[in-house]
Amino acid sequence: MKSTRGSSRSAIFLLNSVDRLGRTINPRVLAAAHEIGPRAVAYGERLLGDAALTMNLFEESAAAVSEALRRKSKDARPVRDLSAYLYRTFLRKISLARGKQTRLETPLRNNARTQFLARQPSQAEVSLLFDEVMATYDKVTQQIVYRRLEGLSWKEIAAEFGIATHAAESRYSRALAHARRLLHIRRPRT
C-alpha cells in the first residue's frame, strides 16, 4: 500500500561518505545531502523507476559537488546555496540517465515489437495492447522482458542487470502472470 501525502515515513535516509567510484564526500555536502536527500531521491526514483540507480546518482552528485567545492576553494567565490547546487547537479544526472534509458529502450522496444508482431494478423491492435501491458511494469522488468523477447539467455540478462539468473527469471514469470491476469488468458495445462 502506498503512503499518502500526509503520512510520514519512518525510514532513515542513509548516505555513504564515499561514492561507488571511491570519491569522498565533503562533510558540508554530506550534511546538505542528508537534508535534501529523502525528497530528492524519492523524486528521482519516480522519474527513473529504479531506487538503486537513483541512490547511486545522488551519491555521485554529492561527490561531484565535493570536487567542485575543492576546486572552488582556490577561488574567492564560494557557493551560496549548497543544497540548491547539489539538487541541480542531481537533476542533471537524472536527466542524463533518462536520456540514456530512452536511447536504449527505443530500439529495443521497436525490435521486440516487430519480432512479436510479425506473427500477428492485426499489428496495430496488438502493438497498442503490448504497449499498455508493458506500461504497467517497472523499468527494470520492462528491460528484462524486452531482452528476453530479443532472445537473450537468462545468464546474459542477469549479468546485464547485476542480479541472479533466478531473479531475472522470477521477474519475467511475474510479468507474464500479470499480463495473463490483465488479458484474462488461461495458462495451458501440460
Tell me the domain boundaries of the chain: 27-101, 120-183
As a whole number of angstroms, the distance between CA 107 and CA 22 comes to 34
pLDDT of residue 107: 65
Q: What is the pLDDT of residue 186?
A: 56
Which residue, among 185, 157, 159, has the nearest Cα to 171 in the 3D structure?
157
Neighbours of 163 (CB within 10 A): 15
What's the whole-model pTM score?
0.48
Q: What is the pLDDT of residue 51?
A: 81
Check: CB of residue 17 under 8 Å from CB of residue 30.
yes
pLDDT for 75 equals: 67
**What fold is seen in the domain 120-183?**
Arc Repressor Mutant, subunit A (1.10.10)
Nearest partner of 129 among 186, 184, 174, 172, judged by Cα: 184
d(CA 15, CA 55): 8
Mark the ranges of the chain whose per-residue pLDDT is less than 70: 1-12, 75-76, 100-127, 185-190
What pLDDT score does 7 carry?
A: 42
Query: Is the four-CA dihedral 117, 123, 129, 132 of positive or negative sign?
Result: positive
